[in-house]
């Protein structure tokens, strides 16, 4: 049986000041899976990610998210689509002047008519899912790096989006915290049935969470398929990426 697609990109082209960044990029992401977008520095993965979020306009090609062509949506339709997407940014992007609970509650406060008491209950539940119930009244400055990531993840899922985008979620974390975050992401996928699009260069994370891999090399899709297929790919850039990253990971462990 054919799997339902949550993201469909076809013939996407992007250029900035005459520099071509993406060339005829096409791939799909399936419902209920973790699709990892990876590639070396300058491969175009950040530009692709921003197109998926409609932060960059699609000038050539097409991008469909949850069955909607983002190039044809009216403003009200775009807002409705945003409400079905959670975004987990690399920096966490929490507001230091608000408590953790207030940060997590922001999407609900801004985009729903729920009473404050119910919002508090939802926030507490979401913080529980990421093992941060005790941080309800704390401020971001009082959290460790790993806790900040988990708080940002709770905010990204507070509206129960069917699709979660993660931009380098493990950046700056030590190996133990990184593994814990990966397991949380997998747990959310399994418990809440979320589909996840994740950009990362962390091989350990890829090995733990990825179902599918989309590998960009110099703006083109060098590989698309299951993780096990990527590990045995004969494409030189894919082979080099995994071999170099594994070597670097071993060096870090031996320090």
pLDDT one-digit tens code per residue, 235-249: 898 888 887 665 554
Average confidence (pLDDT) over 153-173: 90
Number of C-alpha atoms within 13 angstroms, CB side, residue 204? 20
Task: Examine residue 62 and state whether it is found in any structural domain, yes or no.
Answer: yes
pLDDT one-digit tens code per residue, 187-234: 888 888 899 999 988 888 888 999 999 999 999 999 999 998 988 888
Q: What is the pLDDT of residue 246?
A: 54
Task: Examine residue 159 and state whether it is found in any structural domain, yes or no.
Answer: no
Overall domain count for the chain: 1
Q: Which residues contact 82 (CB under 8 A, 6 or more apart)?
A: none
Task: Examine residue 79 and state whether it is found in any structural domain, yes or no.
Answer: yes
Task: Examine residue 166 and state whether it is found in any structural domain, yes or no.
Answer: no
Task: Examine residue 91 and state whether it is found in any structural domain, yes or no.
Answer: no
pLDDT one-digit tens code per residue, 122-136: 999 999 988 899 989
pTM of the model: 0.88
Task: Examine residue 163 and state whether it is found in any structural domain, yes or no.
Answer: no
The CATH number given to whatever domain includes residue 8 is 3.40.50.300
Task: Examine residue 109 and state whether it is found in any structural domain, yes or no.
Answer: no
Range of the domain at 238: 1-84+197-247
> Taking 50 as the threshold, does the pLDDT of residue 252 lie above it?
no
> Taking 90 as the threshold, does the pLDDT of residue 171 lie above it?
no
> Taking 60 as the threshold, does the pLDDT of residue 108 lie above it?
yes
Q: What is the pLDDT of residue 224?
A: 94
Task: Examine residue 101 and state whether it is found in any structural domain, yes or no.
Answer: no
Token digits of residue 178: 């990184």
Q: What CA–CA distances, in Å, run from 219 to 21, 33, 239?
A: 5, 24, 17
Distance CA 139, CA 117 (A): 20
Q: Are strands 85-88 and 163-167 parallel, antiparallel or unpaired?
A: parallel
Q: What is the pLDDT of residue 250?
A: 40
């Amino acid at each position: 049986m054919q799997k339902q697609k949550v993201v469909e990109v076809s013939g996407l082209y992007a250029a900035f000041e005459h520099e071509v960044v993406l060339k005829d990029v096409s791939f799909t992401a399936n419902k209920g899976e973790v699709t990892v977008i990876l590639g070396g520095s300058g491969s175009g993965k950040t530009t692709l990610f921003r197109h998926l979020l409609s932060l960059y306009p699609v000038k050539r090609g097409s991008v469909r998210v949850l069955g909607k062509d983002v190039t044809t949506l009216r403003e009200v339709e775009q807002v409705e689509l945003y409400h079905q997407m959670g975004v987990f940014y690399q920096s966490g992007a929490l507001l230091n002047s608000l408590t953790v609970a207030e940060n997590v509650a922001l999407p609900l406060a801004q985009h729903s008519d729920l009473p404050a008491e119910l919002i508090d209950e939802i926030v507490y539940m979401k913080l529980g899912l990421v093992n941060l119930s005790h941080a309800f009244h704390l401020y971001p400055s009082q959290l460790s790096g790993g806790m900040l990531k988990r708080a940002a993840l709770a905010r990204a899922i507070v509206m129960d989006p069917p699709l979660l985008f993660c931009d380098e979620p493990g950046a700056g974390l030590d190996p133990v915290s990184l593994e814990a975050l990966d397991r949380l992401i997998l747990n959310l996928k399994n418990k809440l049935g979320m589909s996840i699009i994740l950009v990362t260069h962390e091989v350990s994370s890829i090995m733990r969470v990825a179902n599918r891999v989309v590998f960009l090399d110099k703006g083109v899709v060098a590989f698309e398929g299951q993780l096990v297929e990527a590990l045995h790919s004969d494409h030189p850039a894919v082979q080099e990426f995994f071999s170099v990253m594994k070597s670097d990971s071993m060096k870090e462990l031996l320090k």
